[in-house]
Structure formats: C-alpha cells, structure tokens
Amino acid sequence: MKKVTLLAASVLAGLMSAQAMAAPAEFNGYMRSGVMQGTSTYGHKALVQQLGRLGNEDDTFGEMQITGDVAKVDDTVWSVSTMFALGGNNENNWESNISNRQFYAQVKGLLDKESTLWVGKKYIKREDIHIGDFYYYDVSGHGVGVENYAIGSGKLSTSWSRKDNGSVTALDGSNVNVRLNVFDARYELPVWDGATLQVGTTYLRALRDKNGAAGHTTWTDETEIKDAFNFTLELGVGFSAGWNKTVVQSFSGSSADCAWSTTASVNGDAFTGQGYRLLNFGETHFTDNLGMFHQFNAAYSTSNAYDSKRTLGLVVRPYYKLTKMTKVLAELGAYVERTKAEDGSHVTEGGQKATLAYAISPDAGNFWSRPEIRFYVSYINVTDKNGEFNKLGKQTGHDTVFGAQVEAWW
C-alpha cells in the first residue's frame, strides 16, 4: 500500500507541476444533428460529395478536441492533443459509435519559430470542400511529420503516415488487405498579393514482406496493389468579393480511379492506370446580402478494369440575408459519370438534388457563422450504374424529404 501511495503521489505531483507551467487547455469541435422525414423512411446521405450535403444528412456526428500546452522550454512550446468523434443515426437513441480520431504530441519552435514537429495519430493538413464534405487532399493517419518549415519565401510540410484501409475487392474478385505507407510533401508560397500556390506530392506504397504478403493475404499478379504517385497543384486567390481555389491533380497506379477519392486511397478496380481531376470552389459575395458557395469537379481516368471513366459534377449554394440572424438558402447539385468498358459498351450514372432552406445563425450574412439551425425540403433523384433509379439504397426514381438540422463548430 505504501508503494502505491508513493507512486500515486509522485504521479499527482508531476501532473500538478505540468499544469502549473501549462496554459489553459483549448477545447474545440464540430457537430451536426437533426431529423429528416420523406416519402420513404430509409437511409440518409445520398451521394453527399456529388450532390451536396444541405438537406441531405439526417445523422448525428460530432468531433471534440482538447489541446493543452504541457511544457515551455526556451523558445519551444510542447503540447498534446486528442480528439474523439461520435456518430449515430435515428434507428436507436442508445446507439452511437465513439472513436479516437487524433492523439498526438508536437513541439513548436524547435526547428524554426513557426514550424512544428509532431508524432502520433493526426489530421495531416486535411483539405476539403465544405458543401460536399469532400476531402480531396487527406493523408491523415498514424505518423510523424514537420509542418510549416520556412524555406525561401514559402513553407514546407512533410509527413510519413500509415493508412490501413482494410480490404478492397481485387480484379479476380478476392478481398485483399491494404496497408499503406503514405509519404507526403507540400510546399506553399505566396505568388502575388492575396494569392498562394501549393505544390504537393504523395507516394503510396503498400506494406510488403519478402514473400509478397500484406497481412494474411498473399498477392498474385491479379490481386497485387500497385504503388501510386499523386501530384497536386493548388492556387488560392482572395479578392474583395470573396475567395476561390483551383486544384489540378494527377493520380497514377492504384489511385487512378480518382473522381471522388482523396490523395491517399487505392481502388480495387484500378490497380494500374492514370487519372486527372480539376476542382474549382469558393465563396462569392455579390452584394452585402447575397452570396454563393460553389463546387465544381471534372475527372478523367483509365485503368486495367475499364477503358475510360469521365465524371462531371457541380454544386451551388446561394443564400440571401433576410435579417441580422435569418436567411434563405438553396443548394442545387448534379453529376454524371460515364464509364466505357473494354468491349466498347457504356454505363452511365448520375443524379440531381434541389434543396430550399430557412436558416437562423448569429450572423446571417456570414456563410461560416455557426451554430446554424436549418429547416429544409429537398428533392433527390439518382440513377445507378445499372440504369435503374436508386435513392438511398432503394429502387425509387426520386424522393422528397424535409426536416430540421443544426450544424456548429467552435
């Protein structure tokens, strides 16, 4: 008992000492929740990336992150950060999934004044398009890296992370375990007043042993996941009426099927090939009360699973401020994807969505003002690859849904 007491006292003293030197912890997060009802009472999230998320989500999801400085030595600051996420749907009020999304430590000021060295499980400079919940550049995972190291007029960020994606379906129909080592480097620099250019390269290599196995699966010529090399060029421009980003990406090897994927993913039906993607998105204020957010995606890819695939998608979310805290907004989305098989036949899928909403937020003229409470009605129509209409997993040509949702970050 005495040893336990002494150990407890030692741990408590250490914690109190660390707390005395540390700044108060920062607490931030994200959440969304609501209720949806439609002509059908099934499912949620019909092609959110392709058609937009407004009036197209009925789940509960949240992320809560705590970050605290634990030591300050000379010009360095040492901190620890953790994030937990929870999610669920309306099937059961007691049902929820909780996971640890981030848990890492970092030191700022060790290499230079602004850069950080980190190790752990981390969101690694994720880049997304908000209205589509679309992460077009995401190499997050367990890893190590340096962010914002000054070189010349720009800043360099590098990382090595592991992404164990479970299994994908191989060309021969079998399941292949995919464990990826992801090496990423990005350099961002100013190019003119109000504009920045980022150049990014990502190399994906599946974990192999000398016998050619990944996990418990032995690869053959028909199941082997090839390496991938992806390249990203991103131009961000700010102007008096808003901001805009243009992203050009190339995907080679097992990442070739790239229409709606991130830079750190492989596809079971594209073990070799080449893909290209053009993204344009941003926010524009036409007047003090009228604004719009848009997302455009065009992609083309080839692989050894098909001859070619062409994808085109557009989502726009215009909004009009009514009062200081209220506004009306709409979201219109459409996409089409056409795949040409090796025998020359074509398969086409696509969809459309229209949402009308009334929203309340602290600053209705600011697109990013949260919390935002919404009341909406949406019309959604989806056609699947087999030429049949498919809405949220059911063979119906269209669906009309309505509901209420709150979204917040802090």
Over 60: is that where the pLDDT of 281 sits? yes
Instruction: Please give the pLDDT value at position 91.
Output: 63
**Is the torsion defined by CA of 380, 51, 272, 162 positive or negative?**
negative
387 vs 381, more confident: 381
Instruction: Please give the pLDDT value at position 163.
Output: 80
**Is the torsion defined by CA of 175, 179, 185, 188 positive or negative?**
positive
Report the pLDDT averaged over residues 142-167.
91
Instruction: Please give the pLDDT value at position 41.
Output: 37
Over 90: is that where the pLDDT of 103 sits? yes
What does pTM read for this prediction?
A: 0.88
Decide yes or no: CATH 2.40.170.10 for domain 24-409. Answer: yes
> Which among 372, 348, 316 has a CA at the least distance from the CA of 51?
316
Over 70: is that where the pLDDT of 347 sits? yes
| 94-98, 157-161, 240-244, 401-405, range with the lowest pLDDT | 94-98
| 224-228, 319-323, 372-376, range with the lowest pLDDT | 224-228
Strand partners, 237: 195, 244
Report the pLDDT averaged over residues 349-375.
97
3-state secondary structure of 9: helix
Segments of 154-227 assigned E as strands = 154-169, 175-192, 195-206, 213-214, 217-218
CA distances from 378 to 12, 151, 166, 354 (A): 55, 48, 34, 6
Backbone phi, psi, residue 4, to 5°? -65, -40
pLDDT digits (tens, 9 = 90+) for 166-215: 666 666 666 666 778 999 999 999 999 999 999 999 999 876 554 545 44
* Spatial contact of 387 and 395, defined as CB atoms under 8 Å apart: no
What's the pLDDT band for 391 if we cut at 50, 70, 90? Answer: very low
Q: What percent of the chain has pLDDT over 90?
A: 63
